[in-house]
Amino acid sequence: MIDAVVDARTDAVDALAGAGAGRMAADVRAAVPLDRARLRQIVGEVAADPDRWGGPVRFDAGRRWFRRLELADDYELWLLSWLPGQSTGFHDHGRAAGAFVVAQGRVRERTVARPGRVRHHTFAPGGMRSFGSRYVHDVVNAFAEPAVTVHVYSPPLTAMRRYELTTSGLVHMATERAEQDW
C-alpha cells in the first residue's frame, strides 16, 4: 500500500514536470518507459528464481558488487550484492524509473522527506520498492548478514546523480554517466 501511494505521488510529480523538463531530458532514450507495475513484475519474477541470480552473484569486501543481467531497448536488469555496511549513498537514476526487490538478506532504504527528516524503510526478502524518475534514496545493508537485490530501470540508465545530505537538505555533488563511470 505504501508503495502504491509513493508511486501515485511520484507519477503526479513526473506528469507535472513533463517529458522535456530538466537538464536530463537529453538522456531519455527513444523507447517508451515501462510502467511501475511491469517493473515490479520483472524484478519479482527474477528474485523468485534463484537459478537466474544465484550463479552470478559475488560478494566483494572492497566495494559493493553489481552486474547487469539483461539489457533491452526499454529496460535493464541489475543484480547487486551487499555485505554488512555497504551503501549506495544518496543518488537518483536520472530520467529512469525503477524498482528493486530483496532476494536474500535485508537492506534499509533512506529517503529525505525534508531537511532534517530522514525516513528509513527496511526491506526483507520479497520486499519491493518501485519509483519514478528523480527519486532520491540511499540503500544500505545495515544488518549482520549479506544481502542480494535485483533492480530494473526503464528506460536503461544513462546517468546517476550523487547527493550529499547536509543540514539544509540534499546537495548535488556529481553526475555519473553510464558506460563511462560504471
What domain range is 71 assigned to?
2-18+33-177
Report how far residue 134's alpha carbon sits from residue 93's, in angstroms, rounded to the nearest whole number. Answer: 6
Q: 64 lies in a domain?
A: yes
DSSP 60: -
Per the domain annotation, does 170 fall within a domain? yes
Residue 26 lies in a domain: no
CB within 8 Å of 7: residues ≥ 6 apart: 36, 130, 131, 132
Number of structural domains (the chain) is 1
Q: Is residue 28 part of a domain?
A: no
Q: Which parts of the chain have pLDDT scores under 50? A: 1-29
Q: What is the DSSP string of 90-158?
A: SB--TT-EEEEEEEES-EEEEEEEETTEEEEEEE-TT-EEEE-TT--BEEE--SSS-EEEEEEEESPP-
* pLDDT confidence of residue 113: 86
Q: What is the pLDDT at residue 116? A: 76
Indicate whether 104 belongs to any domain. yes
Q: What is the CATH number of the domain that holds 150?
A: 2.60.120.10
- Report yes or no on 57 lying in a domain: yes
In a domain, 144, yes or no: yes
pLDDT at 115: 77
Q: What does the pLDDT read at residue 31?
A: 64
With respect to residue 49, please indicate whether it lies within any of the assigned structural domains: yes
